[in-house]
């Protein structure tokens, strides 16, 4: 189980690959049709790509974690059909009183290595 004490700042936690299939983008566009932009992934889907990686990599994790904030930096938006590789690492952690804060950094690249976007998420970790 991933617990606060085992996170090591600067260390890669894991990697997740996914293909940005047209079916996945069309599911998004069913909810947000104004996001259609030809063959480019809608920007709102960055959070979805990130959270899929986070959810698949950080298993098992204690229940009750709280998403505090998230910041994305965009280099380029992926195209439908791109294979995306997301690396998740612990950027830092700190104990404030009895609250355990963990900062997760991610980089999402195309399979050829080109950086698409990165993220920094702060989470109130349950244990």
pLDDT digits (tens, 9 = 90+) for 60-86: 999 999 999 999 999 999 999 999 999
Mean pLDDT of the chain: 96
Q: What are phi and psi of 43, to 5 degrees?
A: -55, -35
Residue 96 has pLDDT above 90, yes or no: yes
pLDDT at 30: 96
pLDDT, average across residues 35-58: 95
pLDDT value of position 127: 82
Spatial separation of the C-alpha atoms in residues 42 and 36, rounded to whole Å: 7
Give percent above pLDDT 90 in the chain. Answer: 98
- What are 19's two structure tokens? 């293909």
Question: Coil, strand, or helix at residue 26?
Answer: helix
Q: How many CA atoms lie within 13 A of 118 on its CB side?
A: 10
Cα–Cα distance between 90 and 103 in angstroms, integer? 6
- Say if residues 116 and 77 touch (Cβ distance below 8 Å): yes
Do 11 and 84 touch, CB atoms closer than 8 A? no
Q: What is the pLDDT of residue 108?
A: 98
Q: Is the peptide bond before 114 cis (omega within 30 degrees of 0)?
A: no
pLDDT of residue 124: 97
Give the mean pLDDT of 46-61.
Answer: 95
Q: pLDDT tens, 15-29? A: 999 999 999 999 999
């Amino acid at each position: 189980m991933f617990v606060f004490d085992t996170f090591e700042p600067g260390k890669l936690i894991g990697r997740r690959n996914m293909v940005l299939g047209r079916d996945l983008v069309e599911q998004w566009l069913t909810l947000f049709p104004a996001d259609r932009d030809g063959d480019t992934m809608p920007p709102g889907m960055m959070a979805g790509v990130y959270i899929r990686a986070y959810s698949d990599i950080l298993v098992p994790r204690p229940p009750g974690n709280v998403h505090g904030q998230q910041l994305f930096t965009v280099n380029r938006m992926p195209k439908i059909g791109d294979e995306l590789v997301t690396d998740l690492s612990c950027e830092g952690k700190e104990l404030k009183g009895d609250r355990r804060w963990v900062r997760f950094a991610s980089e999402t690249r195309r399979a050829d290595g080109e950086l698409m976007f990165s993220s920094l998420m702060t989470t109130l970790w349950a244990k």
